[in-house]
């Protein structure tokens, strides 16, 4: 693949020094290669976005909304190809790849509606002082850099791209080097729709490309989703320009199960929270807090459920869980299995890499994990669940909140008043009650503490790409 970058409305060859190898994680083998973008090409992409900004932001909200609806329709028309590519490059089971695509489609359709409502938000502001009038005007922040991860590439890019375009921003999108292919669909759709050149630019690459984009003085905002270590580097780069950032980072989330909960339902919610996308989720509920009265019944059932999961190649088998997406992630998860053995943790299920081709690990459950264990405190990003027992509601809240992360949590209880009370007490950005992790475009996404800055999705996602201008006029 030579023309792998979309700059100023044209597909161009990469001129960087890095060769990106695109792998099938179920086989552990590459199936495509591309040359990374050079620093000069990042400059070109930012310049193209800057040149396109005046006409795009003044194009009119209704016209921008029409383009967004076009993205939604075009994604639907490419449905089978995009599902197959996610299965091959990410290792996602078909049902997960289907949900990801539907999420991306819904995101573009939703922000098309919000774009149409933007003119109504420019309004007069009543003043107490006589002789003056004031009005607000919402304007795009400008040229934005979007850096997205490999675990939900089609989805995360939609969460950033759709509100940015709706607001009137122009963008430079940098996909992960692990999964660089699927975002090319956005460039293809831009061509098909006749999106003005420079409104959307896509540059692929590794750390050099990401650093060139995050430190570029031609950006007005940066939005990053990924690890805390890289997020801190992105924040340092943005601070040099006093540039606003949105950061969606890691998590070590808790699922709290009270003893009045139905065991079968609890097992369903727990398994989904740790094995969806092979546990490669910042929102994975990897810390299980289970009340004493239900623990002895729940843990054996949970062990059986994890052992029954079908793990395999989603392209050739009907599976519940696919491989880890990269060899690096496979090695990282395997290192935590070794740490668990060194710490003497009680392993009820899994705890090992699978002896087959590809980057597979077993769904894993450790019981009675100490709070100072690395597996309890660190984000593993794999299907590794650590369980602890608790006695009281206050203890559950305290242990759930005892984390440097604060992204999400789940509460399971038949006592809805208690569930709501606990949800309010948890120091996170999103809580589910008696549910799998259903994410809706109308709700917000983002966390507290070390899980990031800002919010995506809902009207909050659009606000992140808008600046507020006040115009005050003397009537004298």
| DSSP secondary structure letters along 163-182 | HHHHHT-EEEEE--SSS-ST
Alpha carbons 256 and 241: distance in angstroms, whole number: 42
Per-residue pLDDT of the chain (476 residues; tens, 9 = 90+): 557 899 999 999 999 999 999 999 999 999 999 999 999 999 999 999 999 999 999 999 999 999 999 999 999 999 999 999 999 999 999 999 999 999 999 999 999 999 999 988 889 999 999 999 999 999 999 999 999 999 999 999 999 999 999 999 999 999 999 999 999 999 999 999 999 999 999 999 999 999 999 999 999 999 999 999 999 999 999 888 899 999 999 999 999 999 999 999 999 999 999 999 999 999 999 999 999 999 999 999 999 999 999 999 999 989 999 999 999 999 999 999 999 999 999 999 999 999 999 999 999 999 999 999 999 999 999 999 999 999 999 999 999 999 999 999 999 999 999 999 999 999 999 999 999 999 999 999 999 999 999 999 999 999 999 999 999 999 97
Check residue 364 and give left, alpha or beta (phi > 0: left; psi -120 to 50: alpha): beta
**CA–CA dist 422, 439 (Å, integer):** 20
CA distance linking residue 401 with residue 261, whole number of Å? 21
| Total residues found in the chain within this entry | 476
168 φψ region: left (φ > 0), alpha (ψ -120 to 50), beta (else): left
Q: What whole-number distance in Å separates Cα of residue 348 and Cα of residue 364? A: 8
- Which residue, among 430, 428, 434, has the nearest Cα to 401 in the 3D structure? 428
Active site residue 248: yes
DSSP 71: H
212 vs 204: CA distance, rounded Å: 12
Q: How would you classify the pairing of strands 29-35 and 124-125?
A: unpaired
Give 231-240's long-range contacts (Cβ < 8 A, gap of 24+).
231/452, 234/147, 235/453, 237/211, 238/214, 240/215
Q: Which residue ranges make up each domain of the chain?
A: 5-249+451-474, 254-442
Phi, psi of 50 (to 5 degrees): -65, -40
282 among known catalytic residues: yes
Max Cα-Cα span within the chain: 82
| Domain 254-442, classified CATH 3.40.50.300, yes or no | no
Could you please report the per-residue DSSP string of 122-146?
--EE--SSTTEEEEEEEEE--EEEE
SS3 label, residue 212: helix
Of the listed 248, 386, 412, 456, which one is catalytic? 248
Catalytic residue among 116, 177, 261, 282: 282
* Whole-number Å distance between alpha carbons of 336 and 366: 12
5-249+451-474 to CATH, choices 1.20.1250.20, 3.50.50.60, 3.40.50.2000, 3.40.605.10:
3.40.605.10
Rounded to 5 degrees, φ, ψ at 357 are: -65, 150
Please answer whether residues 69 and 112 qualify as being in contact, where contact means their C-beta atoms are separated by less than 8 angstroms: yes
């Amino acid at each position: 693949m030579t023309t792998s970058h979309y700059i100023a409305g044209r597909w161009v060859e990469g001129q960087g020094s890095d060769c990106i190898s695109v792998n099938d994680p179920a086989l552990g083998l590459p199936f495509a290669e591309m040359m990374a973008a050079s620093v000069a090409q990042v400059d070109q992409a930012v310049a193209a976005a800057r040149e396109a900004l005046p006409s795009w932001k003044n194009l009119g909200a209704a016209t921008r909304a029409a383009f967004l609806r076009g993205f939604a329709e075009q994604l639907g028309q490419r449905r089978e190809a995009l599902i197959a590519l996610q299965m091959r490059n990410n290792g996602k089971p078909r049902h997960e790849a289907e949900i990801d695509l539907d999420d991306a489609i819904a995101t573009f359709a939703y922000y098309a509606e919000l774009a149409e409502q933007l003119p109504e938000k420019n309004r007069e502001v009543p003043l107490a002082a006589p002789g003056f009038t004031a009005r607000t005007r919402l304007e795009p922040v400008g040229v934005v850099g979007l850096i997205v991860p490999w675990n939900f590439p089609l989805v995360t890019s939609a969460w950033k791209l759709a509100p940015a375009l709706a607001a009137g921003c122009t963008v430079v999108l940098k996909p992960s080097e692990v999964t660089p292919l699927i975002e090319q669909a956005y460039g293809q759709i831009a061509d098909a729709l006749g999106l003005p050149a420079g409104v959307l630019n896509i540059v692929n690459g590794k750390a050099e490309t990401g650093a060139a984009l995050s430190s570029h003085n031609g950006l007005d905002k940066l939005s990053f989703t990924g690890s805390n270590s890289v997020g801190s580097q992105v924040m340092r780069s943005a601070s040099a320009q006093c540039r606003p950032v949105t950061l969606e980072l890691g998590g070590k989330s808790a699922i709290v199960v009270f003893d009045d909960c139905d065991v079968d339902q609890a097992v369903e919610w727990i398994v989904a929270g740790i094995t969806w996308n092979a546990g490669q989720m910042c929102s994975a509920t990897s810390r299980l807090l289970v009340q004493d009265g239900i623990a002895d019944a729940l843990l054996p059932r949970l062990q059986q459920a994890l052992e029954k999961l079908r793990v395999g190649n989603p392209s050739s088998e009907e599976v519940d869980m696919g491989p880890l997406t990269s060899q690096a992630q496979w090695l990282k998860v395997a290192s935590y299995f070794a740490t668990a053995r060194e710490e003497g943790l009680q392993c009820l299920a899994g705890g090992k890499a699978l002896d087959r081709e590809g980057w597979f690990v077993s769904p894993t459950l450790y019981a009675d994990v100490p709070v100072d264990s690395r597996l309890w405190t660190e984000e593993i990003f794999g299907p590794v669940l650590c369980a602890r027992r608790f006695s009281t509601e206050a203890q559950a809240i305290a242990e759930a909140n005892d984390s440097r992360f604060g992204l999400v949590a789940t509460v399971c209880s038949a006592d809805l008043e208690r569930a709501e009370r606990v949800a309010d007490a948890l120091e996170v950005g999103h809580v589910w009650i008696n549910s799998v992790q259903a994410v809706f475009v109308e709700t917000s996404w983002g966390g507290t503490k070390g899980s990031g800055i800002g919010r995506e999705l809902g009207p909050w996602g659009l606000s992140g790409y808008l600046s507020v201008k006040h115009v005050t006029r003397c009537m004298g």
